Amino acid sequence: MKGRENTREVLKENEGNFLISPFSIQTVLALTQSGAKDETALEIRNSLHLPNTTKSTEAIYSIILPKFKGNEQYALHTANKIYVKNSYPLKEEFKTIAANVYQAAIESIDFAQKDESANTINSWVEKQTENKIHGLIDPKNLDEETRVILINALYFKGKWTTPFETFATSKKDFYKTAKEVVQVDTMHNTDLYNYYESAELNAKFLELPYQGNDVSMVIVLPNEKEGLSSLENEIEKVFTAPRFTHERVSVSLPKFAVENKVQLKTLLENLGIKTAFSENADLSGLAGKKGELVISDVIQKAFINVTETGTEAAAATAVIGVDRIGIVLPPRILYEFYADHPFLFYIKVKENIILFSGRINFSSLK
């Protein structure tokens, strides 16, 4: 499973600091395709690079999702929920797959009661994301024609293996462009990190691990102050695991917090998921007959806060249907990684599953 293309498409459509959860999008759409058939299911799998059959996709998720439990060193949690209109019958096979594979609870709701329904759904999302994601569903998105809403919520909170000392944080120049500079709170540290320089991408990669060593953040910094657009055009290569070596690196990294909401229908259509949004949609494995149920939109809201101690991040996506011990110090070379201009980042688990990805450019700062 990849999730690279949806990041590239979202970055194209959105300026400024931005965050997306490819994993959350893939998960809720994988759940959707378990109720889709023929061309509708095929488009979802192909566009998101899921396995080539529904059963294969379900087999992957039955292995992956139980791992999202975190431990005493970090919090990692994902949850799925299906809200269905009162008296609207979901297919029994789909309900079984939703429960057994995607660990998705099902709840009946009266979508005609817009405010009450939105409050119910948003309260669940808030609970699953430790009160970080609010207002995912707007009551305006609900009406008597709404039949099903499928939601994935994702939450992560971890502490850096090597935290940044707060006394070292100071205001430093950040180049929004080669000529436009703003002052941002910048963290500083020098320690042993996974580091890689890519001549092909003209960029540096730095991996910052979280305690527990299962999750890490990778910062991808173009060598040129205005080199971000070139990186975004090579997002597949950016997300390919670099050939890291363990080096002593002097790091300067801005503190940042991002929160955004995005409508994903157009993005997904650009990726090739078209039938599911049309009158030809076949979601009859989920409910009803072919053409009765279509996807009106896919919405995601995401949040991240990166500080000296670590990171807290959350996302929710809705599909609406109408250790350092024993390390030997490396040679005396000291590499410099100064993120003083726009960069990309992503948070991944060991299997190289991208939980969150985004861009930092502080374009809105004056």
Greater pLDDT, 172 or 68? 172
Alpha-carbon distance of 47 to 277, in angstroms, equals 14
Q: How confident is the model over 108-123, as pLDDT tens digits?
A: 999 999 999 999 999 9
Rounded to 5°, angle at Cα 20 from 14 and 22: 125
* Sign of the dihedral through C-alpha 305, 227, 357, 120: positive
Strands 310-321 and 295-306: antiparallel
Task: Indicate where the chain has its CATH 3.30.497.10 domain(s).
Answer: 4-158+257-321
366: pLDDT confidence band, cut at 50, 70 and 90?
Answer: low
pLDDT of residue 30: 93
* % of the chain at pLDDT higher than 70: 93
pLDDT of residue 96: 94
For residues 282 and 291, the answer to whether their CB atoms sit within 8 Å is: yes
Task: Indicate where the chain has its CATH 2.30.39.10 domain(s).
Answer: 160-255+324-359
* % of the chain at pLDDT higher than 90: 62
User: Tell me, what DSSP letter sits at residue 275?
Assistant: G
Q: How many CB atoms lie within 10 A of CB 67?
A: 14
The whole-chain average pLDDT of the chain stands at 89
Alpha-carbon distance of 82 to 35, in angstroms, equals 12
CATH class of 160-255+324-359: mainly beta
Tokens 């990805």 map to which residue?
Answer: 357
Q: Does domain 4-158+257-321 have CATH number 3.30.497.10?
A: yes
pLDDT of residue 265: 87
For residues 249 and 195, the answer to whether their CB atoms sit within 8 Å is: yes
Q: How confident is the model over 265-289, as pLDDT tens digits?
A: 888 888 899 999 888 989 899 988 8
Alpha-carbon distance of 6 to 80, in angstroms, equals 20
323: pLDDT confidence band, cut at 50, 70 and 90?
Answer: very low
Q: If you average pLDDT over residues 248-264, what whole number do you get?
A: 93
